[in-house]
Amino acid sequence: MGKIMLEVKDLKTKYITRFNEDIYAVDGVTLQLEEGKSLGIAGESGCGKSTLALSLMGYYFPPLHYSSGEIIIDGQTISHLDPDVVRKRILGREVAYIPQAAMNALNPTQKIIRFIEDVVHAHFPKKTRQEIYTMAKDRFEELGLPAKVLNQHAVELSGGMKQRTVIAISTILSPKVLIADEPSSALDVTSQKKVIKMLKSLMDKGYIRSMIFITHELPLLYNVTDDIMVMYAGKIVERGSAKEMVFDPMHPYSHGLMGSIIVPETGVREQELTAIPGTPPNLKNPPKGCRFAPRCPFVKPECVVGDVEMRTFDEHRSYRCVLGVDELREAYKNE
């Protein structure tokens, strides 16, 4: 096993609403991410993916609050640090975060190089503009982005170029962990491919040392990340290698997200996505027992009794369901 870049132990974070209600959108997440590896996180809208992304940075501001658990980046526990320390020492340098719809958040009237100066100066106040320009130009060229972009404004760039630029800006300090929240979701297919190629190239060149890629489309992650986790209603319900998760998903929710007919070479489905009937539960008041039980075609009385634990098989795969591997495979065969 390689060096662990990111370790999360039973993390719980919550929104506190105006009415003083607690909403646990991250409810006991445990994960490990090794150096040089990428992890995909998939799940429908409202399952807590973006909240997990925010929470992993250890940077909390209302209405989101840390509740319990640990986040360790390359041996350093960041979950108990003062937000000010996190902002000054961790963000951008140890962990970089690309929020959902990041490209739309760029101030359109500012030159791209100014954003880079801001990121670099936050950690290295003594670096000169010339040093930063040289560093940015080298990095942009390494990543296949034209250096002239540095002197352009966000408004002059196409959507795809803007998104790749945001990624290059966010990773300029070569963070240990990159968390990208739906980085390609708003783009056309060609731009999507370019974004994914660039993220892979950041990994291959060692500019980032591990990556979390969040998406609502599980099949998209095939060929993009090493491992995949599926998240449902604030909890991880399954983890395995990308190949296993795409071709042999075990949890009924992962199975539903994947659909049933897949082209073997590409992992892409042959049919239109068959949406899972129903919607994720309201996290103000999640269902007892398995949170997927109300939507699960294979539900049994024992599913709604108590919490369902993760179970492990084939040494490294795990899923959260009362049914065994053989029972599930048999059920999927007969669908």
Ligand X SMILES: Nc1ncnc2c1ncn2[C@@H]1O[C@H](COP(=O)(O)OP(=O)(O)O)[C@@H](O)[C@H]1O
Contact set with ligand X (CB under 6 A): 15, 17, 23, 25, 43, 45-51, 63, 283
Select from ligand X, Mg ion, none the partner in contact with residue 113, using the beta carbon and a kind-dependent cut-off of 5 to 8 Å: none
Q: Based on CB atoms, which residue is closest to ligand X, 139 or 219?
A: 219
For the CB of residue 181, give the shortest distance to Mg ion in the complex, in Å.
6
For the CB of residue 15, give the shortest distance to ligand X in the complex, in Å.
3
For the CB of residue 182, give the shortest distance to Mg ion in the complex, in Å.
6
For the CB of residue 2, give the shortest distance to Mg ion in the complex, in Å.
29
The residue ranges that bind Mg ion (CB under 5 A) are: 49-50, 100
Select from ligand X, Mg ion, none the partner in contact with residue 15, using the beta carbon and a kind-dependent cut-off of 5 to 8 Å: ligand X
Q: Based on CB atoms, which residue is closest to ligand X, 23 or 71?
A: 23
Distance between CA atoms of residues 10 and 310, nearest Å = 12
Q: Based on CB atoms, which residue is closest to ligand X, 61 or 301?
A: 61
The one-letter amino acid code at 141 reads E
Q: Based on CB atoms, which residue is closest to ligand X, 194 or 291?
A: 291
Select from Mg ion, ligand X, none the partner in contact with residue 51, using the beta carbon and a kind-dependent cut-off of 5 to 8 Å: ligand X
Select from ligand X, Mg ion, none the partner in contact with residue 199, using the beta carbon and a kind-dependent cut-off of 5 to 8 Å: none
Q: Based on CB atoms, which residue is closest to ligand X, 17 or 77?
A: 17
For the CB of residue 45, give the shortest distance to Mg ion in the complex, in Å.
7
Q: Based on CB atoms, which residue is closest to ligand X, 26 or 154?
A: 26
For the CB of residue 58, give the shortest distance to Mg ion in the complex, in Å.
19
Distance between CA atoms of residues 157 and 78, nearest Å = 36
For the CB of residue 60, give the shortest distance to ligand X in the complex, in Å.
12
Select from Mg ion, ligand X, none the partner in contact with residue 48, using the beta carbon and a kind-dependent cut-off of 5 to 8 Å: ligand X
For the CB of residue 49, give the shortest distance to Mg ion in the complex, in Å.
5
Select from Mg ion, ligand X, none the partner in contact with residue 241, using the beta carbon and a kind-dependent cut-off of 5 to 8 Å: none
Q: Based on CB atoms, which residue is closest to ligand X, 158 or 282?
A: 282
Q: Based on CB atoms, which residue is closest to Mg ion, 51 or 254?
A: 51
| CB-nearest residue to Mg ion | 50
Select from ligand X, Mg ion, none the partner in contact with residue 102, using the beta carbon and a kind-dependent cut-off of 5 to 8 Å: none
Distance between CA atoms of residues 293 and 303, nearest Å = 6
Q: Sheet of 311-313: strands edge to edge?
A: 95-98, 177-181, 211-215, 38-42, 227-232, 235-241, 317-319, 311-313
Select from Mg ion, ligand X, none the partner in contact with residue 63, using the beta carbon and a kind-dependent cut-off of 5 to 8 Å: ligand X
Tell me, letter by letter, the H, E, C secondary structure of the chain: CCCEEEEEEEEEEEEECCCCCEEEEEEEEEEEEECCCEEEEECCCCCCHHHHHHHHCCCCCCCEEEEEEEEEECCEECCCCCHHHHHHHHECCCEEEECCCHHHHCCCCCEHHHHHHHHHHHHCCCCCHHHHHHHHHHHHHHCCCCHHHHHCEHHHCCHHHHHHHHHHHHCCCCCCEEEEECCCCCCCHHHHHHHHHHHHHHHHCCCCCCEEEEECCHHHHCCCCCEEEEEECCEEEEEEEHHHHHHCCCCHHHHHHHCCCECCCCCCECCCCCCCCCCCCCCCCCCCCCCCHHHCCCCCHHHHCCCCCCEEECCCEEECCCCCHHHHHHHHHCC
